[in-house]
Amino acid sequence: MPKGVAQPSTASNPPRKEPPIMIVKEAIQLFNTEVLDYLERDAEIPTITRAGAQGDVSILRVTKDDAVKPVAKAGIAVIRGENGGNTHSLHGNGPIFWDAAPERDGSLLLGRLTVPAESEAVLAHPEHGFLAIAPGTYEIGRQREYRGEWALVAD
């Protein structure tokens, strides 16, 4: 693209604007998702625009094909809680799209999320609260840590 010519806006490359500010109690109502009592209900929810993490889940903005499968209004579990753990789930205010990655041994990739310019998305978890995700396309994955050997982060 020649210098001085604006790039077209796509889900992977939406126009830049300040993300809306949402607070925890608004997200609880909007997404019908509860968080634990110790989380401050009037706290602002941080917005990820490039990279972030929530417990054992990583979020990284990518310049790859957009996800195409619509997420239902009720949201979708990204990682289900195991052994009494809590589930990380994606929710949208407006259409959002999630393509789950095929399960492969050793792969940390869970899937690809696309948030169109007119929509909002959050990653919710009862213990961690919410993370807002700005418009764009992201790869969502597991995190691992080194404890004498590599292991998935336990959340």
Question: Is the model's pLDDT at 116 over the cut of 80?
Answer: yes
pLDDT tens per residue across span 35-49: 988 889 999 999 999
CA distance 125 to 147: 25
Q: What are phi and psi of 25, to 5 degrees?
A: -65, -30
Q: Please compute the mean of the pLDDT values over residues 136-141 and round it to a whole number.
A: 96
- Reported as half-sphere exposure (CB side, CA atoms, 13 A), residue 134 has a value of 20
Question: Is the model's pLDDT at 125 over the cut of 70?
Answer: yes
Q: 35-71: buried (b, 16+ CB within 10 Å) or exposed (e) per residue?
A: beeebeeeeebebbeeebbbbbbbbebeeeebbeeeb
Strand residues in 69-135 grouped as ranges (E): 76-79, 88-93, 97-100, 109-115, 120-125, 129-133
**Better-predicted residue by pLDDT, 27 or 86:** 27
Question: Is the model's pLDDT at 84 over the cut of 60?
Answer: no
pLDDT tens per residue across span 5-15: 444 455 555 55
Q: Please compute the mean of the pLDDT values over residues 77-86 and round it to a whole number.
A: 70
Question: Is the model's pLDDT at 17 over the cut of 70?
Answer: no
Q: Please compute the mean of the pLDDT values over residues 16-41 and round it to a whole number.
A: 83
pLDDT (0 to 100) of residue 136: 97
Question: Is the model's pLDDT at 122 over the cut of 70?
Answer: yes
